[in-house]
Amino acid sequence: EDKVVQSPLSLVVHEGDTVTLNCSYEVTNFRSLLWYKQEKKAPTFLFMLTSSGIEKKSGRLSSILDKKELSSILNITATQTGDSAIYLCAVEKTSGSRLTFGEGTQLTVNP
């Protein structure tokens, strides 16, 4: 059975801190790993990772995939209160486009 595990499940930090969120997976026919940010209802797409070792970056957020370790990390530097959200990791299979989601990490950034 496909599995995606995220850690930690929740995290509370102060503005300006740097955080690292983890995602590990066990899936057959892996195609890509995706990160989403969910603030209210709809998850907002952050990154799609298909190749190992290549960092993707967008502003203060960055992410990298390690296919050997079957894992990915999402880094957020100089956190702001607006970064408070649930961060979801999902894995896509080559056999279809269905996504398997992890439980999510609830990040709270306090002023």
Partner 1 sequence: SAVISQKPSRDICQRGTSLTIQCQVDSQVTMMFWYRQQPGQSLTLIATANQGSEATYESGFVIDKFPISRPNLTFSTLTVSNMSPEDSSIYLCSVDGTWPSTDTQYFGPGTRLTVL
Close Cβ partners of 1 (under 8 Å, ≥ 6 residues apart)? none
Pick 49 or 76: Cβ nearer partner 1 = 49
58 is a site residue for partner 1 (CB under 8 A): no
Verify binding: residue 34, partner 1, rule CB under 8 A.
yes
Among 42, 58, 82, 111, binds partner 1 (CB under 8 A): 42
Q: Which residues contact 89 (CB under 8 A, 6 or more apart)?
A: 4, 6, 21, 23, 25, 33, 34, 35, 36, 72, 74, 101, 102, 104
- Say whether residue 104 binds partner 1 (CB under 8 A): yes
Given candidates 21, 37, 43, 79, which one binds partner 1 under the rule CB under 8 A? 43
Position among 78, 103, 108, 110 found at the interface with partner 1 (CB under 8 A): 103
